[in-house]
Amino acid sequence: VLAIDSGFSDYCRDFGLWTLRYDFVNRGPVVIAAGAFDSRGTRFMIEKAEGQPSYKIQVSPVQPLAQEHRMYLTVFRDFQSRMWMLGITYGPTGALQVEFH
């Protein structure tokens, strides 16, 4: 289980919004807080289900015909900062079960 907190820094404020961005250093898409100075594109919110203390994003059963179109959240270590970051994987084996509080 992974607890997600976008936190605060000199270049990022936590407004509760997230965006998906391609990161050239890591050569793949990363999930970042939309309060980052360079965030563009679609912004999305990760919310709790009404009346629930938390909810989970889980790996769904594999459907062979649609597998190439599925994306899953994963965690990877950033090459530059060596911090753990949220990213995207296209296979269910690298996907995480995530619980948001």
pLDDT of residue 49: 58
Contact 96, 74 (CB under 8 A): yes
Q: In the predicted model, is pLDDT for residue 12 greater than 60?
A: no
Q: What is the pTM of this model?
A: 0.46
| Averaged pLDDT for residues 80-90 | 76
pLDDT in tens, 23-43: 787 777 777 666 655 555 555
Domain ranges of the chain: 17-100
